[in-house]
Amino acid sequence: MGASPRGLDDALEWLAGHVDYERTAPTRRDVPTLAPVRDALFALGDPQLDVPTVHVTGTNGKGSTTAMAAALLEATGRRVGTFTSPDLHAVHERICVAGAPIDDATLVDVLGRLADLERTTGVRLTRFELLTVGALLHFADEAVDVAVVEVGLGGTWDATNVVASEVAVVTNVSLDHTEVLGDTVEAIARDKAGIVKPGSIAVLGDEDPTTIALQAALATSHGARDVWRRGAELSLARNDLAVGGRLITVATPRGAHEDVFVSLHGAHQGANALCAIAAAEAFGATALGDDVVASALGTIRIPGRMEVLRHHPTVLLDGAHNPAGAAVLADALEASFVVPGVRCLVLGALSSRDPASLLEPLAAVGVDTVYCCEPPTPRALAASTVAAAAARLGLHARVVVDPGDAIDAALADAADDDLVVVTGSFYVVGAVRGHLLGLPPHRG
């Protein structure tokens, strides 16, 4: 692509020509470095330094926490940028300002500037690094008041860790991406703690006392000026099922909020809401008004995360892609999605996953049938492998490789009072969601 791309297709083709570790399963064979990202940003005038930032990581829940923190900060009147991953239907979703994805023309312009940068400086970035730099450039251009930036993977060596965050959030830590981050909880906690910057406030949402103590020590060693821990400085005194979501009561060092309605399903979303409220109050250095919290969290929707897409039968989408996520999904099914009929799955996973570890908690709550598909990515685990794991657990398994065909098959077999759960990978969730909503093919 030249300095003046001919349009969106050219720009996305250029972007796709870069190494994409989201699709090709990175490992830590090489010595990790943020130097290429820092060099690119320096050449662009260090736009990240113009944008106050809330940085969010965690094994699970970081996307939901990012969305809620952004909504809370927007409800205070701030202009907010968000950088998230993965996207479901278009790469534009990853870079938003005031809740709106970057438009085609602006994305083409941003990618064109990055193409010029690569050509003139010789800096070569990965696809995710380009999107990170592009987001930070866009936020500076838009003069946002704050950016809420979700880590792609880990923390210390993630491309997003070039921001000088004022608030660093670690939602939780468990074993995931062990081929990249390490094979112990301690190693993963150390990696995620790398987002804590000197002078920042660290918000730690983990429920495990041992893990959170380790994270707190790491945050202090990284120079955090304050550490807010769930179970100490932060409390979640109520986290109850409500019609259409949760009722929570939370407290932070800035204030307390009682009986807040959160329009998201699953007990884990109560914990994520605590982290989001704490992050917004840490950033603003004051308590949020109860009206702000109610308006931001009472109507929030997060596509692909415990999302009910249709009824009769009920279709639930959730990107539970690791054992901890599958366990959370199973808990939510028991608490919030009791149906007169049966529960079945449309499930596809990445090759790095053990399908049995995803299926076991769901089988334990009564899932009977699995429509085994493959995510639209080179990292897809064979549907036949998923089916074999399901059969070993005593589940009925049917191989339908294409996710769209798999949901069609599940719906054809389902009665009106059944529940169809789509899960295992955000690639599968995005493909099924787009199929059911009649959306155009994925862009970017």
- The domains found in the chain, sorted by start residue, are 8-297 (3.40.1190.10), 307-437 (3.90.190.20)
pTM over 0.85: yes
Supply angle C-alpha 113, 118, 120, rounded to 5: 90
Mention every residue, 6+ apart, whose C-beta is less than 8 A from residue 30: none
- Residue 51, classified by CB atoms within 10 Å of its CB into exposed (0-12), middle (13-18) or buried (19+), is buried
Distances (CA, A) of 81 to 14, 101, 298, 346, 404: 24, 10, 21, 33, 32
φ/ψ of residue 267, rounded to 5: -60, -30
Alpha-carbon gap, residue 357 to 118, rounded angstroms:
42
pLDDT tens sequence across 70-93: 999 999 999 999 999 999 999 999
Single-letter code of the amino acid located at 307: E
User: How many CA atoms, within 13 angstroms, populate the side-chain half-sphere of residue 442?
Assistant: 20
Count of H-run helices and E-run strands, the chain: 16, 17
Point out which residues pair with 421 in neighbouring strands: 316, 345
258-277 residues labelled b (16+ CB within 10 A) or e (exposed):
eebbbebbbbbbbbbbbbbb
CA-wise closest residue to 171 among 228, 222, 131, 225 = 228
Best CA proximity match to 196, nearest among 228, 218, 181: 218
Q: Report the pLDDT value the prediction gives residue 182, as an integer from 0 to 100.
A: 46
Say which residues have a Cβ less than 8 Å from residue 432's Cβ, sequence separation at least 6. Answer: 317, 346, 403, 404, 406, 407, 422
Cα–Cα nearest to 275, from 325, 206, 208:
206
pLDDT on residue 144: 98
Query: Taking phi first (over 0 means left), then psi (-120 to 50 degrees means alpha), and beta for anything else, what does residue 113 get?
Result: alpha
Instruction: Indicate the pLDDT class of residue 2, thresholds 50, 70 and 90.
Output: very low
Q: Does pLDDT of 5 surpass 60?
A: no
Burial class (CB in 10 A: 0-12, 13-18, 19+), 219: buried
Element (H, E) at 372: strand 367-372
Backbone angles phi, psi at 138, to 5 degrees: -65, -40
Average pLDDT of span 245-255 = 97
Percent of the chain residues topping a pLDDT of 90:
84
How far apart CA 232 and CA 202 sit, in angstroms, is 13
Please report, to the nearest 10 degrees, the dihedral formed by the alpha carbons of residues 245, 321, 174, 369 taken in order: 80
As given in the structure block, the two tokens for residue 38 are 């820092």
**Residue 279, amino acid:** A
> What are the pLDDT digits (tens) for 398-416?
999 999 999 999 999 999 9
Asked if pLDDT for residue 178 goes beyond 70, the answer is: no
Distance of CA 256 to the CA centre of its chain: 26
Residue 414, number of CB atoms within 10 A of its CB: 19
State phi, psi for 305 to the nearest 5 degrees: -125, 105
- Position 22 scores a pLDDT of 73
Residue linked to tokens 């690119």: 40
Residues 202, 224: contact at Cβ < 8 Å? yes
For the ranges 22-31, 246-255, 379-388, 423-432, the lowest mean pLDDT is seen at 22-31
The pLDDT confidence band at residue 31, using thresholds 50, 70 and 90, is: low
Average pLDDT of every residue of the chain? 93
Residues 6+ apart with CB under 8 A from 316: 306, 307, 308, 309, 337, 419, 420, 421, 422
71 vs 184, higher pLDDT: 71
Assign 5 to helix, strand or coil.
Answer: coil
- Specify the DSSP element, H or E, that contains 41: helix 35-43
> Which amino acid appears at position 249 of this protein?
T
Q: Could you report the per-residue pLDDT of 258-288, keeping only the tens digit for each?
A: 999 999 999 999 999 999 999 999 999 999 9
pLDDT digit string, tens, across residues 196-220: 999 999 999 998 888 888 899 999 9
Residue 180 confidence (pLDDT): 43
pLDDT of residue 6: 67
